[in-house]
């Protein structure tokens, strides 16, 4: 596996100057970014398949171990505050349990039966989207989890950094990001981890856009649950509707912090009508506004 090999270029890394060392690491990060581009068609296919399943009420299930698992958990954890993605539609399958996010649980990644067990206990089904991430693509826990998810009919997506990874044999969507040898042999928190984070950023953001949780580049599905988000909600409503921020604040308050409802209230809708319209358009604010424009 390339991610485990020693690169001849970096065998004397520990004797380099700080400037040379960080420059080499920086170049590795740029290479990680470039490695994502060939995977874009495969990411696109996974996004479309995942969005269709999630529209049927499915859940997002993130699977991983070690560094890859932590990166996967981070991506999923950010969906609720950014897009108001429901907590009950988010599942984390982490080798060693969620404590392994902050504390290494040695040996947990070697248990393929445990990976399958966690998937079965989560009652993963055909409408769920399972994203399994492993730099090597050989992690037993992750393989066991994805195998079980596939047997249960889920949309299975594999993200790995080594060509021919066994994990790919179990996935409907295979996302290969060939980041090559690492600056530190085997330290996949470097290039491999960076590329994984980019792939997950692209995937989850595109899925949320497809699900109508973004309008005109704005996070219209976020909930104003603290002072910072309340301020952001007011700005979003003001930008979309063209009203001043004081008026936007009143609409946000009337909508109990729901940005989409606040926008429609500002456009003259009654609250019940706004709720019904959004339900009719599967939560898409663009769909509702386009319908309004056609009726004028």
Task: Check: pTM over 0.85? Answer yes or no.
Answer: yes
CATH code for the domain of 192 = 3.40.50.10490
Residues 131 and 202 in one domain: yes
Residues 55 and 182 in one domain: yes
Residues 45 and 158 in one domain: yes
pLDDT band at 1 (very low <50, low <70, confident <90, very high): low
Residue closest to 218 by CA, chosen among 231, 209, 230? 209
Catalytic residue set: 78, 109
Last residue of some domain: 210, 243, 267? 210
Residues 53 and 133 in one domain: yes
Last residue of some domain: 157, 180, 210? 210
Residue 247 lies in a domain: yes
Residues 25 and 161 in one domain: yes
Residue 94 lies in a domain: yes
pLDDT score, position 226: 86
Residue 108 confidence (pLDDT) above 70: yes
Residue 222 lies in a domain: no
Residues 194 and 286 in one domain: no
Residue 4 or 28, more confident: 28
Q: How many domains are contained in the chain?
A: 2
Residue closest to 285 by CA, chosen among 241, 249, 228? 241
b/e map of 133-142 (b: 16 or more CB within 10 Å)? Answer: bbbbbbbbbb
Residues 138 and 250 in one domain: no
Residues 16 and 154 in one domain: yes
CATH code for the domain of 257 = 1.10.8.1080
Residue 236 lies in a domain: yes
Q: Measuring CA to CA, how many Å separate 34 from each of 25, 29, 31?
A: 14, 9, 5
* Domain boundaries, position 111: 2-210
pLDDT band at 139 (very low <50, low <70, confident <90, very high): very high
Residues 142 and 65 in one domain: yes
Residue 275 or 12, more confident: 275
Residue 16 confidence (pLDDT) above 60: yes
Last residue of some domain: 141, 176, 210? 210
Give per-residue pLDDT as tens, 159-201.
999 999 999 999 999 999 999 877 777 677 788 999 999 999 9
Residue 77, both tokens: 């954890």
Residue 181 lies in a domain: yes
Residues 168 and 33 in one domain: yes
Residues 8 and 102 in one domain: yes
């Amino acid at each position: 596996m390339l991610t485990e090999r020693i690169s001849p270029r970096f065998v004397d890394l520990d004797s380099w100057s700080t400037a040379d060392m960080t420059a080499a690491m920086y170049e590795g990060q740029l290479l990680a970014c470039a490695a994502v581009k060939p995977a874009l068609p495969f990411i696109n296919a996974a996004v479309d398949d995942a969005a269709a399943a999630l529209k049927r009420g499915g859940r997002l299930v993130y699977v991983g171990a070690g560094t890859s698992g932590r990166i996967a958990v981070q991506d999923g954890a950010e969906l609720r505050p950014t897009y108001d993605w429901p907590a009950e539609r988010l599942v984390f399958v982490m080798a060693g349990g969620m404590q392994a996010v902050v504390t290494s649980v040695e040996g947990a990644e070697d248990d393929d039966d445990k990976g399958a067990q966690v998937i079965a206990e989560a009652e993963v089904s055909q409408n769920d989207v399972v994203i399994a991430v492993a730099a090597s693509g050989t992690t037993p826990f992750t393989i066991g989890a994805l195998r079980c998810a596939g047997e249960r009919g889920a949309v299975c997506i594999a993200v790995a950094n080594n060509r021919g990874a066994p994990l790919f044999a179990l996935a409907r969507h295979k996302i290969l990001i060939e980041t090559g040898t690492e600056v530190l042999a085997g330290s996949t928190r470097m290039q491999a981890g960076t590329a994984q984070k980019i792939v997950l950023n692209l995937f989850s953001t595109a899925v949320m856009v497809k699900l109508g949780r973004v309008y005109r580049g704005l996070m219209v599905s976020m909930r104003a649950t603290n002072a910072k988000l309340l301020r952001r909600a007011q700005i979003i409503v003001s930008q979309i509707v063209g009203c001043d921020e004081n008026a936007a604040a009143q609409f946000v308050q009337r909508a109990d912090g729901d940005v989409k409802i606040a926008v429609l209230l500002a456009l003259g809708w009654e609250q019940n009508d706004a709720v019904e319209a959004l339900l009719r358009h599967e939560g898409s604010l663009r769909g509702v506004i386009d319908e309004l424009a056609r009726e004028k």
